[in-house]
Structure 1
Amino acid sequence: MKKSLMLIALCVGLAQPALASTATATTLYDKLGGKESIRAVMDDFVSRVAADPRIGDQFRNTNAIRLSALLTEQVCEATGGPCKYAGQDMKSAHAGMTITKAHFNALVEVLIASMQAKGVPFALQTDVLALLAPMHRDVITVK
């Protein structure tokens, strides 16, 4: 039940990332293991999301390699890494798509499964989700 409540809070942007200890100036990017570790999660995520019966159809015509690379850049930059995201803003990227809150929540569930599969500790998972959660405003196109 707690996991469901956390997921809902993150999806509507209510949760905040944990504060980094002042004793360690390590970025979330570093804690995640850097770009290669993020890429491993994103590769897994893209595979899982394409196969997910709830949302896979929306990724049918997507170039999986390019999507994984863009997601890696986006997460790398958002977590304090050296990358610069070169993709579209979320509103433009999802314009014309029929994305509901249920679709978004399914996507978050798949991302959590990918992070778990790649050994990302729970506390870091919540930090990543908290960074990405505000995007729901631009991704959900059907209210």
Structure 2
Amino acid sequence: MNNIFKFLIIILLAIVSSSSFAETSPNLGNTPMETNETFQDFGGKPGLVSIMDDFMVNLVADPRTKPYFDNEKQTYIKAMLVEQMCELMNGGCSYPGRDMKSSHAGLKINRSAFNALVENFQVAMEKHNVPFRAQNKLLAKLAPMYRVIEEK
């Protein structure tokens, strides 16, 4: 399934990268979804909190992503991820964090690290029984952010 997912991400990057950015939180990274159906599929804000808790555990446990998160402010990062995902899924939140480029500056994030992060996010979503369709909708919103945060 990982190969299928990676193929989908490549397709999604190509499709979504051509979309325009609407007026939203200036640092959000993409436009919010039109409805909050996906937000509900994630269990609302309490569901997002639980997913992000497990996601952070996964990131710190994975040697491919641990260096990016081990010494960082994990509680703050989780809170910002919850707000960002909530706004992206039209859940009534407003992401107050920094823009994606400055948030990730100097981290030297490459394609391998990004793919590992996505895999760890998938594991957390699966653990919380987020429907595959809802996972793909959110990942389609997140995929274009790679272009902004990648450092070659």
Query: Share of identical aligned residues, percent?
Result: 39
Alignment of 1:30-45 (within 5 A): 30-45=40-55
Gaps of 5+ in 2: 17-34
CA distance in 1, matches of 2:79, 2:127: 19
Q: 1:89 is matched with which residue: 80, 96, 99?
A: 99
CA distance in 1, matches of 2:151, 2:92: 31
Q: Is structure 2 residue 118 aligned with structure 1 residue 108?
A: yes
C-alpha change, 1:134 and 1:4, in structure 2 (3 Å) is closer
Q: 2:71 is matched with which residue: 61, 66, 74?
A: 61
CA distance in 1, matches of 2:71, 2:119: 21
CA distance in 2, matches of 1:45, 1:75: 13
The TM-score, its normalising length taken from structure 2, stands at 0.80
CA distance in 2, matches of 1:100, 1:107: 11
C-alpha change, 1:108 and 1:91, in structure 2 (3 Å) is same
Q: Is structure 2 residue 50 aligned with structure 1 residue 9?
A: no
Gaps of 5+ in 1: 17-24
What residue in structure 2 maps to residue 133 of structure 1?
A: 143
What residue in structure 2 maps to residue 20 of structure 1?
A: none
Larger mean Cα displacement after TM superposition, 25-34 or 47-56: 25-34
